[in-house]
Structure 1
Amino acid sequence: MKLGLETESYHLLFQHKRMDIFDFIEQTWKLGLDGVEINIIPDHNLHPQFGVLDSDDPTYLARVKNAIQSRNLYCELDTRWTNQASLMKSIEIANGIGADVIRTYIKVDDFDPLNLQPIIEDIKQIIPVLKKHRIKLSLENHEHETSDNIIEIIEAVDSVWFGAHCDIGNSMMTWEDPIEAVHKLAPYTISTHFKDHIVTMHNDEPVVCGVPIGEGSIDIDECFAQLVEHSSITRINIEICYPYCASFSREKGTGGVFKLTGAFEVKEPPFDPELIKPMDYYYPHKISQLALETLIDAQIEGVKHSVAVMKKLRNKYCK
């Protein structure tokens, strides 16, 4: 089982120009990992079209590809939305950097759990292009979709070029237990985000909060074992969403969980609320320079810790 790292794991460093894509590739290699997952979604201080990449110029993309391949790393691409125009551009970039899997997710405004047919038709249109370029597309359970929603779409599209992107933490935002989500999605999975979460309080609201892998409430051993035993994947991508918090996106009980117990037990926030509150973690520069520097340092150490934990899990389940 190969282990990769998603650029989101260093989102603060990218946003504040402490790291670029070439630094990231080098750092992933130095951590002893096997691949990179590159996120091209725009965000604070990132490229307005290409996220952590600086351009879609073929010469620039070739430089990125060479940096990846010269270190013998695999490459996957993270994008968003399911319309044909967005996916065509992502396929172009994937070709340019040598990515053979693209992760996407449904635009919130387009998501209707009672009518998934428009999404199904969008993806069916892109299958011939994926086949031509020998690239697979994976659809993520991205904070709003339950595992059943994702599986319904995959079964309707019915193509070897399309499957699930199993994010072991995102299920919590839909009140779905992570182990149940991984168990359901594993047979359909072609790409992953492996992470850890807790539930904590932002003022009086329970929120899902990212933490370094092994420090949260998700049974990471069982999730890793499920992916090994019940999926055909040969890669697991580390995406530590730390520091990060998200609100619950669906009604309590939507995914089968009704109470704040088990993986949903409320725990203390990872940072002093006097410094920064949970829903402010993702953009700490809006709070203070001290908050930014504190969370950047925590993110760097969180990646190191998470990589070490994942290597131990691999040794345990993939001897």
Structure 2
Amino acid sequence: MADSQTMDRNVCSNLRSMKIGVQGSFYPAPAGMSKGDITEWQIRRLAAMGCTVHQIGFGFLSEDTNKLLELKALTDSLGIELELTVPGAFGVSGPYADAEEKSRFLKAIQNASLFGMPVVRTGYGRLNVKTSRFNKSFSVREHLDSLVPSLREAGKITADAGMALAVENHCDFTGRELVYLFDTTDLANVGAALDTANGFTVFCDPHDDIEALAPYTFTTHIKDMAIVDMPLRGYIPMTAQGCTLGEGHVNLSRTIDLLVRHSPCAKGLHLLIEPGWMAWDPNRNRLEQEYEYFEKGIQYMKDLLEAKVKEAENSL
């Protein structure tokens, strides 16, 4: 009984510590704003909405160290933790080694260190067949094995910087295939950046991905997608389409249950909201719809975590 109560207390603590934010590349900024200014504008706007984490792309960081330090001071003052997308992790060494990619990776890790980020994220798949499980030139297992040397080296570089390296299931492999990659790489600081809906893109039930990757998850993309009838005759009769959180076929409540109990980073876990492949209403202003999507998503996640905390408290 005591062990059960301790577990429930840990669940409550972990739920309260989880950080809600957004994938900044999709959060629209005013026209004409420079990339450096976009990041600061987003951080201020999202902090006002109660967010405590923000994901930024490598290209949205200034090359001026003083500017980076100013940005760090701002995030510290607003209580916002940053997560950086680092390019080039799969070009560090091995069969896909690329000097330019490695240079970008090293620079990104250097910048992330400046901010004291606990985790950085990357991805292999680049939204095409070649960088996915459907590349017919070799088997899925051979494909995964070919990624190990670079991921292992990238993981060691990241570990030396005191960070975890999270690999997104980025429209490339199923969750269980990525589990094989992580187990083969065999580094404690290399795990998953769980995208809750990308499983649809490799014709996998995303709930299977979530179950498989929860014990490896260092960070997330919280995404929902709905299966809808395909309107174009001659295509596969159903397809996945982005939607507001809670309105699709991803069980986000169950996702949080799994993550809070199995993620090695459950305490302070980043819950980063990202839209799927959306079908915006052509009769409404696109920008208004995008802002509305994020506002609803942030509130949805706040309400979900609050409900989970109450549920856990009632079990004590």
TM-score, normalisation: structure 1: 0.75
Aligned-pair identity in percent equals 21
Counterpart of 1:99? 117
Counterpart of 1:203? 232
| Superimposed CA distance per residue, residues 161-220 of structure 1 (whole angstroms, 9 cap, x where no aligned partner) | 111111101111112212221111101111111121123436344543222212222111
1:128 aligns with 2:156: yes
Q: Secondary structure of 1:21's match? A: helix
- 271, 280, 296: which one aligns with 1:237: 271
Deviation for aligned residue 1:62: 1.4
Name the one with the larger helix percent: 2
Q: Secondary structure of 2:281's match? A: coil
Which structure's relative contact order is higher, taking Cα pairs within 8 Å and 6+ residues apart?
A: 2
- 58, 66, 74: which one aligns with 2:73: 66
Counterpart of 1:29? 47
| Superimposed CA distance per residue, residues 239-282 of structure 1 (whole angstroms, 9 cap, x where no aligned partner) | 2315x35xxxxxxxxxxxxxxxxxxxxxxx5525xx6xxxxxxx
User: C-alpha separation between the residues in 2 aligned to 1:80 and 1:164?
Assistant: 16
- 83, 88, 93: which one aligns with 1:76: 83
Q: Secondary structure of 2:191's match? A: strand
Counterpart of 2:290? 299
TM-score, normalisation: structure 2: 0.76
Q: Note closer, same or farther for the CA distance 1:180–1:130 as it changes in structure 2 (3 Å cut).
A: same
| Superimposed CA distance per residue, residues 39-71 of structure 1 (whole angstroms, 9 cap, x where no aligned partner) | 23xxxxxxxxx1x33x22212221221111111
Deviation for aligned residue 1:314: 0.6
Q: Give the number of the structure whose alpha-carbon radius of gyration is greater.
A: 2
Deviation for aligned residue 1:107: 4.1
Q: Any conservation in 1 of the 2:20–2:298 contact (CA below 8 Å)? A: no
User: C-alpha separation between the residues in 1 aligned to 2:24 and 2:224?
Assistant: 14
Deviation for aligned residue 1:104: 0.5
User: C-alpha separation between the residues in 2 aligned to 1:136 and 1:165?
Assistant: 10
Q: Note closer, same or farther for the CA distance 1:134–1:222 as it changes in structure 2 (3 Å cut).
A: same
User: C-alpha separation between the residues in 2 aligned to 1:199 and 1:9?
Assistant: 25
User: C-alpha separation between the residues in 2 aligned to 1:158 and 1:15?
Assistant: 44
Q: Any conservation in 2 of the 1:211–1:240 contact (CA below 8 Å)? A: no
Larger deviation: 233-242 or 23-32?
A: 233-242
Task: Compute the RMSD of aligned alpha carbons.
Answer: 2.4
Pairing 1:106-255 to 2, within 5 Å after superposition: 106-108=124-126, 109-111=130-132, 113-115=140-142, 116-200=144-228, 201=230, 203-204=232-233, 205=235, 206-232=238-264, 233-234=266-267, 235-241=269-275, 244-245=277-278
Q: Note closer, same or farther for the CA distance 1:14–1:153 as it changes in structure 2 (3 Å cut).
A: farther
| Superimposed CA distance per residue, residues 79-134 of structure 1 (whole angstroms, 9 cap, x where no aligned partner) | 34422204222202212333221110114445552321221100111233222210
Q: Note closer, same or farther for the CA distance 1:15–1:198 as it changes in structure 2 (3 Å cut).
A: farther
Q: Secondary structure of 1:20's match? A: helix
